[in-house]
Structure 1
Amino acid sequence: MKFLLLFVNILVVSNWICPVISKDALYEPVSKHGQLSVDGVNLIDEHGERVQLKGMGLFWSVWMPYFYNQTTVDGIKNYCHSNIVRPMLAIDTKDGGYLTDPEGETALIDAVIDAAIEDDIYVLVDWQDFEAENHLEQSLKYFDRLSKKYGSYPNIIYEPYNEPISLEWSTVVKPYHEAVIKTIRANDPDNLIVVGTPNYSQRLDLAAADPINGTNIMYSLHFYAASHRQEERDITKNAIEAGLPVFVSEYGTVNYDASGPVDVTESLLWYDLMEEYGLSYVNYAISDKDEGTSALIPGTTPDKVCREEYLSESGRLVVEHNKA
């Protein structure tokens, strides 16, 4: 009887956190997996199979618009071995953003979405804001338009709040998400929504204690390996095991302030955890800025994106794992 109970317990757990075999993301496109959904803590495809997305995030749209095009996305897919790209819609910076130039910034994001659809990969559309609760009206307008225009494509994934600063999940961050989710779902009942968590998308435990009521919702984790270590990994493990579906929508191999050097040891520990739980992950960033987080060396042009000789130290480590 003890052996039977042990077998049943193992079976239940294996059905809850399904095993996933890591694969080269280049060969795991939308045409293979189709519509994504959330089953327990698992991201699954239209066939009910566990799927893992691995890819690259762009730099803020307002500062590197020259990477917001088909040529860049082609490189991200083919040479960075990615099945997902994450454009970052800058909302409010000293140099502008969506609040001051909604048409120009929207056009940049649409160009990346169109390129991702053309290239048969997923696209995670990020509202790059730290105090989105103060811009709810603008956010609702943007995601209403986005979901009306692209909601019928299985490529689309929504990220309505990049990195909430506020620790007030239940009274500030969660109500914001619920309002945006309601707007999206009026136009798009199915596509995945990844919601930001407090303290720059690191406090998964707060969301796990009071999750959002809805379907096909995951919770974002952001980490920078040299700064965020075992304590953050423990929070992540505990949240997943408590039933929270997690999506790593931004990570770096260096310090949180974008400075180097690459911390290979801590990065590998994070990769081990993400593979253990089959988490999807998106690296920051496709950038030729001279800083540690950049996947590209300075001066890289869109036609050279992700080509091996133009990858930084961080970029080489990231692409190695996108292929794994």
Structure 2
Amino acid sequence: MKLTKLLTGVLAGAAISAFAADASTAIPRKAGPVSYYGALHTSGSKIIGAKNNQQAMLRGVSLFWSDATGASYYNPTVISWAVDNLKIDVFRYAMAIQYYDSNGGTKNEVDKGNSYAGAPEGQLSMIDKMVKAAIENDVYIIIDWHSHRAHLETSIAKTFFETVSKKYKDVPNVIYEIYNEPVSGSGGDWGAIKNYANQVVPAIRNNTQNLVIVGTPNWSQHPEQGARDPIASTNIAYVLHFYASTHSKGSFGGNVSSALSAGYPVFISEWGTTNADGDGEPNASATSEWTSFMDQNMIPNCNWSLRQQTSDVDQKSEKSAIFAGDKSLITAAALDAATYTSSGNIIKSYLTKNARSWADSLVKGKNTGSCAFKATTAKQTDGKISGVLKSGCTYTSSNDKIASVSGSDIVINDYGFVTLKGNDGSESVVTITQVAGQTIANLEDITCNYTNTCKSTSKTGRAIDFDGDGSLDYLLTMDDKTNEGSKFTLTSLDPSIVTVSKTTCTNNSCANSQKNKQVWMLHFKSYGTAKVVASAAAITGFRAMQDTFEIKFTKGNDRITEKYKDQKVAVNFESATGLPSASLSGKTPITYTFNGKESSAYMVKLGEGFATSSYPAIIAVTANIPESDNYLAMTKTVTFIIGGDSTLAMNKDEYYSYINGTTIAMKPIRNVQNSLKASMNGSMLQFTTKNTGLVKVDIYDALGASVKQMSDIYGKGSHAIDLKGLPNGSYTLVIRQGSHKASLRWTNK
């Protein structure tokens, strides 16, 4: 999309480890296009299903950038709703890489917490959730490198696509879009695109033959250029993007026709009804020309974009959005109640009028014979289906875990779909739809610690002695019913760790509505992990609740006085403070080391303070606080410069030898393998990496205080960074990539 934005925010779930959701266990829960076509391949100018060799026609939506505005829609509930209500066959994961600039520039950087370059694990985790959603809904997902300068990001793109194609090598749902919209501003002509593709595509082909789609010059408007000088690989399609109010079918449709005539397929992975900037009123007649053209030529396509019109992050508006309003729509109820924009009404009509019965398609030609019956749907809570099976026939279910046959009934065991094969060879499809579950206010997987901090899946809270019995508690709800209206019970399976009951809230921290009222609380008894089971009867529209939640209670984080800090002190100096004997929170005895040794000739601990010798020195003093009954162990290092000038220190070799083997930080010290080569040449930091990945450079002054931090993605090989501009003085540089590091001393003169 031709759009320049600067959004900020924190990517939902970015702190989760990569691939935590684990799509590998997912199974299709609905009959959809993937079960029908299988993985997508190409044959001449057609995109076909590897399962049946039929030409695949897909219609769907692109999600907005995977940034603060778009992230809320990267949600399995949203995808499931869109499949059921908009009848999408495919959706596009528009992964923000590093920059928004539609001209290929670097002025508008995506917030690092939301970009692949800045937070790769967050994106990989969210991709896994979306792949799982695609599998369960039996639709396709396009994993899109959403960049206008991908050919300048070849190294990290190659690593990314190698990683995800290996992870999903056996997942037929996945389509790889390796370049969103090349532009001339970044040098993205076809030569640069082809050179990039010829490096990235083989990384995918080492793992899978799934369809790869490639962006084309000038914001992906020239698929014919790809057809004239094709990528040297199999199963490649070339991309066209259009916005109907800017790009007429008469002006740009010929580019598609030229590619098709040359024998190469086209995928329209992004199109809109509005202007190319996403704004302006939709052009219904121009849109109709394009949709007719796509349908006539069977060109798979995705509309931009599934979001609300006005961002709830930066309040910017896009009339190409499907939904009106300024609030993210992340629940089925909110989506059901949503108002569509003018563009959204056009898109909804286009998608729904072309909806297909994939259940019927799956058994086309096989749904005949005396044992066959029409595709049947029931709810997860119905228990069984009667009156459907034919008398005198026996049936075999494709998945007894979803539905099995008992006598003349179909027994419902879970939600999903099955094919029942009759003894006459006929096949019929049964779909069991999921019934919504129930929830209890504030009850999720929760971790609390002794220092009162609690974190759950969606919020933070506090553990306080709310009921005055001397132990910490976590508040849930005053209600005795689920949010959906059914009376619930809560049972702890580990009462020695956590109990749960309704108790009077007496603490001043109780809300006014809760003060001196009965409130459901978790009561922490000891450290560990407990299971709490929530049960509630089924009610209209919602299945019974029998959910287990994980509740953790851990020790707290200890503290040390702020007077223990980096400082310059005189020779022959005494201080009554600065090296406390015990921690603040746990009152735990503290031991100290001086440049890694138990004692120093240059300073000694005196009571709660210290005394220095008559010689100038520099000392890294490390406070070690052991684990106690209620607090975790803690290590903190600070630097003392005795005499005030580190360049005069008599023990510089001792100090630098120590810190070059140790990470000085406000957190536990960790020894890491020195496996990066690094050196200084004037003001140039030169280093060599063994692998592609994020490299972090931390620069400390003689006090051990951080003066500069840098990070970027570097490929395998040698690199240089100019540190010109730092004030004259002595510095320690620590360069890290993954578990590897190098550290060196540098004097800038």
Mark yes or no: TM-score above 0.5: yes
Question: Take 1:194 and 1:279, find their aligned partners in 2: how far apart are those partners?
Answer: 13
Q: Does 1:158 align with 2:185?
A: no
CA distance in 2, matches of 1:296, 1:150: 32
Q: Flag the 1:228–1:170 CA change in 2: closer, same or farther, 3 A.
A: closer
For residue 79 of structure 1, what is the aligned residue in structure 2? 85
Structure 1: unaligned runs, 5 residues or longer: 1-25
3-state DSSP class of the match of 1:302?
coil
Question: Paired residue for 1:311, among 340, 362, 374?
Answer: 340
Q: Counterpart of 1:313 in structure 2: which amino acid?
A: S
Q: Aligned residue for 1:90?
A: 96
- Of residues 63, 67, 71, the one that matches 1:62 is 67
Contact 2:37 2:53 in 1 (8 A): no
With 247-256 and 208-217 compared, the bigger mean Cα shift is at: 208-217
Q: Work out which of the residue numbers 198, 206, 227 in structure 1 matches 2:246.
A: 227
Partner residue, 1:8: none
- Per the normalisation by structure 1, the TM-score is 0.88
Matches within 5 A, 1:26-41: 28-41=32-45
1:80–1:306 Cα contact (<8 Å) kept? no
Q: Residue 183 of structure 1 corresponds to which residue in structure 2?
A: 203
Alpha-carbon distance in 2 for matches of 1:293, 1:147: 31
What amino acid maps onto 1:139 in structure 2?
Answer: A
Residue 76 of structure 1 contacts residue 306 of structure 1 at CA under 8 Å; is this kept in 2?
no
Would you say the 8 A contact 1:55–1:76 is kept in 2? no
Name the amino acid aligned to 2:342.
E
Asked whether the equivalents of residues 84 and 122 of structure 1 are also in contact (C-alpha less than 8 Å), the reply is yes
Report the Cα distance in structure 2 between the residues aligned to 1:168 and 1:223, rounded to whole angstroms: 18
Name the residue aligned to 2:153: 135
Q: Give the structure with the higher percent helix.
A: 1
Note the C-alpha offset of 1:276: 1.3
**Quick one: structure 1 residues 222 and 306, their matched pair in 2 at CA, closer, same or farther if it must change by over 3 Å?**
farther
Deviations 1:88-110, CA, capped at 9 Å, x for gaps: 11001322311111111222222
Whether the 8 Å contact between 2:32 and 2:138 is mirrored in structure 1 is no
- Greater shift in the superposed pair: 115-124 or 299-308: 299-308
Preserved CA contact (<8 Å) 1:202 1:221: yes
- 2:276 matched to 1:265? no
Amino acid at match of 1:180: V
Q: Give the Cα–Cα distance (whole angstroms) in 1 for the partners of residues 144 and 242 of structure 2.
A: 16
**Cα separation, 1, equivalents of 2:42 and 2:307:** 31
Separation (CA, whole Å) in 2 of partners of 1:179 and 1:41: 23
Which residue does the alignment assign to 2:211? Answer: 192
Aligned match for 1:241, one of 261, 266, 271:
261
For residue 125 of structure 2, what is the aligned residue in structure 1?
A: 107
Q: In 1, distance between residues paired with 2:337 and 2:211? A: 32
Cα separation, 2, equivalents of 1:120 and 1:249: 19
The question of 1:215 aligning with 2:239 is answered no
1:11 aligns with none
> How many angstroms does 1:71 deviate by?
0.6
Structure index of larger Rg: 2
1:300 Cα deviation after fit: 4.3
For 2:223 and 2:323, how far apart are their aligned partners in 1? Answer: 30
Look up the match of 1:18.
none
Query: Which whole-Å CA distance do the structure 2 matches of 1:44 and 1:302 have between them?
Result: 33
Instruction: State whether residues 126 and 161 of structure 1, in contact with CA within 8 Å, keep that contact through their aligned partners in structure 2.
Output: yes
Structure 1 distance, partners of 2:337, 2:202, is: 43
Structure 2 residue corresponding to 1:43, chosen from 47, 57, 76: 47
In the superposition, relative to structure 1, how do residues 235 and 170 fare at CA in structure 2: closer, same or farther (>3 Å)? closer
CA distance, structure 2, for counterparts of residue 254 and residue 266 of structure 1: 10
- Residue 161 of structure 1 aligns to which amino acid in structure 2? Y
Q: Which moved more, 1:314-323 or 1:113-122?
A: 314-323
What is residue 271 of structure 2 aligned with on the other side?
Answer: 251
The answer for the alignment partner of 1:53 in structure 2 is 58
Return closer, same or farther for 1:56/1:170 CA change in 2, 3 Å cut-off. closer
**Secondary structure in structure 2 of the residue aligned to 1:161:** coil
Partners of 1:208 and 1:59 lie apart in 2 by 28
What is the one-letter code of the residue matched to 2:38? G
2:319 partner letter? G
Q: Deviations over 1:93-148 (max 9, x none)?
A: 32231111111122222221111111111100000110011111110111111001
Q: Is the 8 A contact 1:91 1:128 kept in 2?
A: yes
Q: TM-score, normalised by structure 2?
A: 0.39
Say which is worse superposed, 77-86 or 88-97, in terms of deviation: 88-97
Q: Deviations over 1:205-241 (max 9, x none)?
A: 2212111122111011100000001211122222222
Residue 244 of structure 1: SS of its match in structure 2?
Answer: coil
Q: CA deviation at 1:245?
A: 0.7
In structure 1, the partner of 2:329 is 301
Cα distance in 1 for partners of 2:338, 2:77 equals 17
Q: Which has the higher contact order (CA 8 A, sep 6+)?
A: 1
Q: Give 1 or 2: higher strand fraction.
A: 2
Cα distance, 1:169 vs structure 2? 4.1
SS of 1:223's partner is: strand
Q: Check the 8 A contact 1:164/1:196 in 2, yes or no.
A: yes
Pair 79,306 (structure 1): closer, same or farther in 2 beyond 3 Å: farther
Q: Deviations over 1:151-208 (max 9, x none)?
A: 21100100011011137544211010111100000111x2000111111100122212
Contact 1:247 1:281 in 2 (8 A): yes
- Count of aligned positions: 298
Q: Percent identity?
A: 33
* Equivalent residue letter for 1:293: S
Aligned partners of 1:122 and 1:156 also within 8 Å:
yes
Kindly provide the amino acid, as one letter, of the partner of residue 65 in structure 2: W
